[in-house]
Amino acid sequence: MESLQNHFLIAMPSLKDTYFERSVIYLCEHDEKGAMGIMINRPVGIEVNELLQQMELDEEPAEVKSLGAKVLIGGPVNPERGFVLHTPQEHWNNSQALTEDLMLTTSRDVLSALGSKDAPEQFIVALGYAGWSRDQLEQELADNTWLSIPASQELLFSTNHDDRWQKATESLGFDIWQLSNQSGHA
């Protein structure tokens, strides 16, 4: 099995009217036990500043001004739990380096730093995650539910949320609407 960690999953048009319709998911983990990812293109409807105020963190957070200022729906699993995908910094309580350029932090300390001089240079705040059990993602890929492409910092941090699915599909080099969700077997 080839790991798709540090790849984007792009929802096929056949996922219409589902939770994952037109979604792009960054895969944080993918191994023999399953997979875990964060949906990166569906805002919850609140801004990071509002979330920080609702959490009543000790310090008054500064205004967060960045493309990532909206809180995203990360996925249907643990939607009450926050996940921050961000550029590398070593000092958070519960962080995992995903690549040389990206970390995932789940501790509150990173949230209290957002908007301050201690904040990661670039970040995405998401609630919940998408998860797959052993072999489940492989089966969904075989069923043509998802396409995958290598992850890019540009799509993660420099592309508007609303444009991420379209930009991801354009990077495939063909019109995704021309694809059938039927797989052929000779």
Tell me if 2 is assigned to some domain: no
Average pLDDT over residues 105-121: 85
User: 177 or 131, which is more confident?
Assistant: 131
What value does the mean pLDDT of the chain take?
87
- Domain with residue 166: its CATH number is 3.40.1740.10
Is the pLDDT at 146 greater than 90? The verdict is yes
pLDDT for the residue numbered 182: 53
45-94 confidence digits (pLDDT tens): 988 888 877 776 545 545 554 434 799 999 999 999 999 999 998 778 88
User: 122 or 183, which is more confident?
Assistant: 122
151-177 confidence digits (pLDDT tens): 999 999 999 999 999 999 998 887 777
Number of domains in the chain: 1
Is the pLDDT at 22 greater than 60? The verdict is yes
CA distance 32 to 13: 27
Tell me if 93 is assigned to some domain: yes
Q: Which of 38, 68, 43, 45 is nearest to 129 (CA)?
A: 38
Residue 186's pLDDT band (boundaries 50, 70, 90)? very low
Which residues span the domain enclosing 45? Answer: 7-178
Tell me if 185 is assigned to some domain: no
Tell me if 186 is assigned to some domain: no
